[in-house]
Amino acid sequence: MLLIEYNKFLLYHIGWKLSRRDSIEIFNSVWVEQTWSDLNSFHQRIQTHHQNIAMLTADLELKKSIAIGWIRTTEDFAHIEDQFLSLRQKAENLLDAFTGLAGMVGNRQSLDEARSVGILTVLGVTFVPLSLVASLFSMSDEYRPGAGDFWVYFAVSIPFVALMFALAFLSMYWRKLRRQLKGTSEGKK
């Protein structure tokens, strides 16, 4: 019975940590993976205990016909078996909840990474055209910094960067529009 109470407490404690949150922002993937692993271990142990108790109960059922004194023991083991079955179902429910939580935490991390890639894209769209124009103008001494025609570098670079940004935003808009049209046409089918 102590084993049942111990496992009940562990599962209740894990469920409490999961349910007493206003936001999933505090959950990180390391904690979710460790807790999921612990839950798997609890589930396996509870399942093993349940199977052992079921075998004992079946064995006692056979002995019930031999000795009348085993009847109360059989009822006790049946109660313990029911308790372990309940614990196993609770562990399975928590495993399902943590599997969903792991998906949400993973999606949140993916979005954070996508934002970082977006920043790198903006930097690339900005600096690649500038370096291209600089490399083209470096072929001649009249466009070097301090020379008379250095202003041409800015006159060419700024519109070129603006063109690159316009193309990038048009590309994003075009993909978004295609997704919306695709979604609309699939909704009509």
CB 91 within 8 A of CB 43: yes
Alpha carbons 108 and 102: distance in angstroms, whole number: 10
Ranges of each domain in the chain:
2-16+24-112, 118-188
CB 94 within 8 A of CB 38: no
Alpha carbons 51 and 87: distance in angstroms, whole number: 13
pLDDT at 188: 58
- Tokens 């692993």 appear where? 37
Q: What is the mean pLDDT of each run of 10 residues along the chain (189 residues)?
A: 80 77 72 85 86 81 58 74 87 86 85 80 81 75 77 85 85 82 67
pTM above 0.75, yes or no: no
> Which residues does 3 contact at the CB level (< 8 Å), separation at least 6?
49
